[in-house]
Structure 1
Amino acid sequence: MIVPPPDAAVARFRGDMARLLARAFDGATSVDEARVALAVSGGADSMAMLALAAAAFPGRVTAATFDHHLRQGSAAEAAMVARACAEMGVPHATLSPDTPITGSSIQMRARAARYTALTAWAADAGTLLTAHHADDQAETMLMRLNRASGLAGLAGVRAWRREGGVAILRPLLTWRRADLRALATAAMVPFVDDPSNDDPRHDRTRIRGVLAATPALDAARIATSAAWLADAEEVIAVQVERLWRQHWHGPGRPFAIGDEPRELQRRLVRRAIADIRATLTIARPPFADSANVEPLLDRLAAGQAAVQGGVKVSPGPNGWSFGAAPPRRSL
């Protein structure tokens, strides 16, 4: 029989949700009126979140489990979640991919299919809660640090973001994995352990092992650092948006950002290249939002033109101009 979590834990969860809702909806949605849609996988973290939400927001919670159909037992796990939800009086849906998830980068494809389905399902509620916690955040930050990520990457998992018309909220980012597992156990909520979490082929599993073997690395403090970096990232993003609206005028027009700090130049140049490619329907060569533009910026700083992603960028007296790169000469 499932029992409610302790009052202190429920109050903490409500407080975390109140702060997230205030940020995500600019104060327009109150914690006392929000409808709460949960992504529940069946793991200890998401089942603890389910128990907390059911106690904190009675009558206003729905839950969904996405069955990727990638391993045996996934249907049984979704059914386990459905039974727990029924006991707690929480409506539950089991979602599945429209087409089988196959091919390379299967984890990335699975994630994309999962969020597509879950955000569509949560559209009426306007919110979707996931159970990312402090240990997840610390692992993410260390993985990205090891990949030489910039500020946006080191900011880790965002406390909230929008996808379509749905606000995706992570209210457990200050909660530890062990505490959530203990809470689920004490509440007698059933849960399962995903065997992929112990697969050494995954970067996250290896980083998790490093954290476990290095007591000097405190996951909660690392997660707090990621939160500070996320705040800094938000400030820079606002500045980038202001400069974009102020200075960007399209193909062939000067983009006066040569005196801005390098980090702002990086972001604005990537955005300008992407805008030119979309405007002029340039498809080749490929270009990504995370592309390395350092050589291009070095050439512009030296007063030289450069080409990247099929776009030629030329320095001028009033700024940098962007246009289609001339076709390459055949030998």
Structure 2
Amino acid sequence: MASSAVDRLSVPAELSARFGEALRAVWPECDAELAPMLGIAVSGGPDSTALLLLAASTLPGRIAAATVDHGLRPENAQEAADMAALCAVLGVAHATLPVTLEPGNVQGAARQARYAALGAWAQAEGLAAVATAHHADDQAETLIMRLNRASGVAGLAGVRARGRLLDTPIGLVRPLLGWRRAELTAIVAKAGVSAADDPSNADDRFDRARLRKVLAGADWLDMAAIAQSAAHIADADAALNWSADMEYNARVKRDPFGMTYRPMAPKAIALRVIARIVAELDAPARGSAIARLFDALVAGEPASIGNLVVRPNAGGWSFAKAPVRKAMRGKSR
């Protein structure tokens, strides 16, 4: 590996130090004595390429990278090969993860398939966590899109700085939420790397692409400040979850037929308790359905949701499975 190539791809010390602080804020385990390995999700675009360069400079010998090939564009395979070549120069192990998508919501299906593939890869490689390149502009766009859809607190919190890769034990971390898209693009340009350009980012069929074009002309908006607002909402969401756990433990009782909830908390917390009860007794339900159920119960009316029947009773609400209807037998003549 030529030292000149590595020097060219190294990021300035101040950026490496800044990235290290951001990473420790969302993944304090990176300083553990056993030096856990971090996975880097790289698509080939400028954002994830900058993440790769930053991580390679900050955690030498402690990262591995993977590119998910959705097969949606002919260029996907070449972009994965380009990432493998860049990783080879950096001395970073790289894997290409092909996935197959079912017809339907392409972007949503691609996201689920990507996280599933990354989770399986990380477990097989013994990685502790996987980092993605979501940044402040992404976060601001997500908040505005969800405001436009009348999302609740959980939705307005945007993407979280830390979570899990679906149902795996692998951590999912986003250390770039305090970085701007332009900063990341500049890192890649200075390194002389040619990043891929996904045409879907400019495709007006997608809400995010249309919004991005509008925001490009609104230079009076402070995208970093909007992203920080999402972080504040995430803090509020965590507080509501904590309160909902307290309410659930104190006010929900199991009985032979289901559960009884005697609410004491404000609506925002009661909605979360109801959602938990419904998920435990039947299946998760959409927030709008939970809200309609709450309104009916407050009005003193029985209601149903999924396979559950919910009725007001003495000072509370009872949740039980709906009785199974037996098929009627035809009468002989």
Considering the TM-score relative to the shorter chain, is it more than 0.5? yes
Asked if residue 177 in structure 1 is aligned to residue 181 in structure 2, the reply is yes
Kept in 1: contact 2:157–2:231 (CA 8 A): yes
Kept in 2: contact 1:135–1:176 (CA 8 A): yes
3-state SS of paired residue (2:253): coil
The one-letter code of the counterpart of 1:111 is: R
Structure 2 counterpart of 1:30: 31
Aligned residues: 314
Equivalence map 1:305-320=2 (5 Å): 305-320=302-317
Structure 2 counterpart of 1:103: 103
Structure 2 counterpart of 1:233: 237
Asked if residue 215 in structure 1 is aligned to residue 186 in structure 2, the reply is no
TM-score, reference length from structure 2: 0.89
TM-fit CA distance, 1:188: 1.9
TM-fit CA distance, 1:143: 0.6
Equivalence map 1:35-46=2 (5 Å): 35-46=37-48
Asked if residue 301 in structure 1 is aligned to residue 298 in structure 2, the reply is yes
| More divergent stretch after superposition (269-278 vs 70-79) | 269-278
- How far does the alpha carbon of each residue in 1:238-271 deviate from its partner, in whole angstroms, 9 at most, with x for none? 22223223333334442122x2110111111122
**Alignment partner for residue 268 of structure 1, among 273, 280, 286?**
273
- Max radius of gyration: which structure? 2
Aligned-partner Cα distance in 2 for 1:253–1:84: 56
Structure 2 counterpart of 1:9: 15
Equivalence map 1:49-128=2 (5 Å): 49-97=51-99, 100-123=100-123, 124-128=126-130
Aligned-partner Cα distance in 1 for 2:244–2:38: 32
TM-score, reference length from structure 1: 0.90
Structure 2 counterpart of 1:190: 194
The one-letter code of the counterpart of 1:307 is: S
Equivalence map 1:251-266=2 (5 Å): 251-257=257-263, 259-266=264-271
TM-fit CA distance, 1:41: 0.4
The one-letter code of the counterpart of 2:282 is: R
Structure 1 counterpart of 2:205: 201
TM-fit CA distance, 1:319: 2.1
TM-fit CA distance, 1:294: 2.7
TM-fit CA distance, 1:189: 2.6
Aligned-partner Cα distance in 2 for 1:252–1:192: 53
Aligned-partner Cα distance in 1 for 2:260–2:275: 15
- How far does the alpha carbon of each residue in 1:134-175 deviate from its partner, in whole angstroms, 9 at most, with x for none? 000011111100000000000001101023201100000010
Asked if residue 323 in structure 1 is aligned to residue 327 in structure 2, the reply is no
The one-letter code of the counterpart of 1:104 is: G
Do the aligned partners of residues 89 and 29 (structure 1) sit closer, same or farther apart at CA in structure 2, a change above 3 Å counting? closer
TM-fit CA distance, 1:131: 0.3
Do the aligned partners of residues 51 and 237 (structure 1) sit closer, same or farther apart at CA in structure 2, a change above 3 Å counting? same
Structure 1 counterpart of 2:26: 20
Aligned-partner Cα distance in 1 for 2:47–2:325: 54
Structure 2 counterpart of 1:249: 253
Aligned-partner Cα distance in 1 for 2:102–2:298: 45
List runs of 5+ in structure 2 lacking aligned partners.
328-333
3-state SS of paired residue (2:65): strand
The one-letter code of the counterpart of 1:30 is: D
TM-fit CA distance, 1:327: 6.3
Aligned-partner Cα distance in 2 for 1:178–1:9: 14
Aligned-partner Cα distance in 2 for 1:154–1:328: 41
Do the aligned partners of residues 77 and 252 (structure 1) sit closer, same or farther apart at CA in structure 2, a change above 3 Å counting? closer
Aligned-partner Cα distance in 2 for 1:253–1:158: 31
**Alignment partner for residue 161 of structure 1, among 157, 160, 163?**
163
Aligned-partner Cα distance in 2 for 1:294–1:75: 45
TM-fit CA distance, 1:76: 0.5
The one-letter code of the counterpart of 2:9 is: V
Extract structure 1 runs of 4+ deviating beyond 4 A: 326-330
The one-letter code of the counterpart of 1:224 is: Q
Kept in 1: contact 2:289–2:305 (CA 8 A): no
3-state SS of paired residue (1:70): coil
Kept in 2: contact 1:247–1:255 (CA 8 A): yes
| More divergent stretch after superposition (38-47 vs 304-313) | 304-313
TM-fit CA distance, 1:199: 0.4
Identity of aligned residues (%): 44
Aligned-partner Cα distance in 1 for 2:30–2:11: 25
- How far does the alpha carbon of each residue in 1:306-325 deviate from its partner, in whole angstroms, 9 at most, with x for none? 22223111122242110123
